[in-house]
């Protein structure tokens, strides 16, 4: 009997797709799955063929967080060794990372979606801050991302009550960018990822500027913007965009 890969990695037309692949347990994470996800995200960061990244789940779930049937001695160690590296790897990808939320995203699975740069959801998706229901605290960056996305009051309510939000409610709160019918999730995600994959080198710097700006004071943000703008201004893609503007034609970017 062969055991299916718990995480699938595929690159096509500049888009890397990472698929959590334990559909029978709603893609919850045991140790091998966590390790494979970290490896896939790190591989993406160095993959020159991947100009945008999609994170999604096989079957009817996106990710139900920790596999609650896996025995664990120290939850702190699990968080430090498995979950925090996943979140850091998502943030460290120079490419934009899109969560294509195909179904339920619970616990750390919800936090992974929040850690991504954009979220597009199937109408069948749902979001559950499941931690309170099992006597735990928000982890995997949920306490950091959620208040920034929906405001502190709503984030506190969701964290304490752990209720399930459907896709439309998540859209209303600003947790997701778009909701599409389930059968259109793949094509809509690919269209979004392809648009990003055709973008300039500056997109990686935009990601850096926005992530930095969300966590520092104004002076630090202004200085970082100046630093990154200097890099962006020296890129071939910026020169190409200026030439294309003058020549009244669409730019052709090379990600350099």
The residues binding ligand LHQ (CB under 6 A) are 25-26, 28, 64-69, 72, 75, 78-79, 83, 104, 106-108, 128, 130-131, 134, 136, 139
CB 240 within 8 A of CB 252: yes
On the 0-12 / 13-18 / 19+ scale of CB atoms within 10 A, 14 is: middle
Look up residue 52 and give its two tokens: 């945008």
> Smaller CB distance to ligand LHQ: residue 16 or 100?
100
Give start and end residues of each alpha helix (H) in 46-119.
75-78, 84-92, 108-115
What is residue 151's three-state secondary structure?
coil
> Smaller CB distance to ligand LHQ: residue 15 or 114?
114
Question: In the block, which residue shows the tokens 């750390």?
Answer: 108
Query: Which pairs count as long-range contacts for 239-244, CB under 8 Å and 24+ apart, including other chains?
Result: 240/200, 241/200
> Smaller CB distance to ligand LHQ: residue 82 or 238?
82
> Smaller CB distance to ligand LHQ: residue 104 or 120?
104
What is residue 46's three-state secondary structure?
coil
Look up residue 223 and give its two tokens: 């200085």
Look up residue 16 and give its two tokens: 């890397």
Min dist. Cβ of residue 112 to ligand LHQ (A) = 9
Min dist. Cβ of residue 130 to ligand LHQ (A) = 4
Between CA 89 and CA 104 the distance in angstroms is 22
Min dist. Cβ of residue 79 to ligand LHQ (A) = 5
> Smaller CB distance to ligand LHQ: residue 57 or 199?
57
Min dist. Cβ of residue 37 to ligand LHQ (A) = 13
> Smaller CB distance to ligand LHQ: residue 114 or 209?
114
> Smaller CB distance to ligand LHQ: residue 139 or 237?
139
Min dist. Cβ of residue 176 to ligand LHQ (A) = 17
Between CA 234 and CA 240 the distance in angstroms is 11
DSSP labels, 198-212:
TS-THHHHHHHHHHH
Min dist. Cβ of residue 23 to ligand LHQ (A) = 9
Between CA 63 and CA 4 the distance in angstroms is 17
Min dist. Cβ of residue 68 to ligand LHQ (A) = 4
Helix (H) or strand (E) holding 6: none
């Amino acid at each position: 009997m062969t055991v299916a890969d718990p995480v699938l990695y595929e690159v096509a037309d500049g888009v890397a797709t990472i698929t959590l692949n334990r559909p029978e347990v709603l893609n919850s994470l045991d140790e091998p799955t966590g390790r494979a996800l970290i490896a896939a995200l790190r591989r993406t960061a160095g993959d020159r063929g991947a100009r945008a990244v999609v994170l999604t789940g096989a079957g009817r779930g996106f990710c139900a967080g920790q596999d609650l049937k896996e025995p664990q001695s120290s939850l702190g160690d699990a968080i430090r060794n498995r979950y925090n590296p996943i979140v850091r790897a998502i943030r460290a990808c120079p490419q934009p990372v899109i969560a294509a939320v195909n179904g339920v995203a619970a616990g750390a699975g919800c936090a992974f979606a929040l850690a991504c740069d954009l979220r597009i959801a199937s109408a069948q998706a749902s979001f559950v801050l499941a931690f309170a229901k099992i006597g735990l605290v928000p982890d995997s960056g949920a306490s950091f991302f959620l208040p920034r996305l929906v405001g502190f009051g709503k984030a506190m309510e969701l964290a304490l009550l752990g209720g399930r939000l459907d896709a439309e409610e998540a859209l209303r709160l600003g947790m997701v960018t778009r909701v599409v019918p389930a059968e259109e999730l793949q094509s809509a995600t690919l269209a979004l990822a392809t648009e990003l994959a055709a973008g300039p080198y500056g997109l990686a710097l935009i990601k850096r500027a926005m992530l930095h700006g969300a966590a520092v004071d104004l002076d630090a943000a202004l200085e970082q913007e100046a630093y990154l703008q200097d890099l962006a201004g020296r890129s071939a893609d910026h020169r190409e965009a200026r030439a294309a503007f003058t020549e009244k034609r669409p730019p052709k970017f090379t990600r350099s």
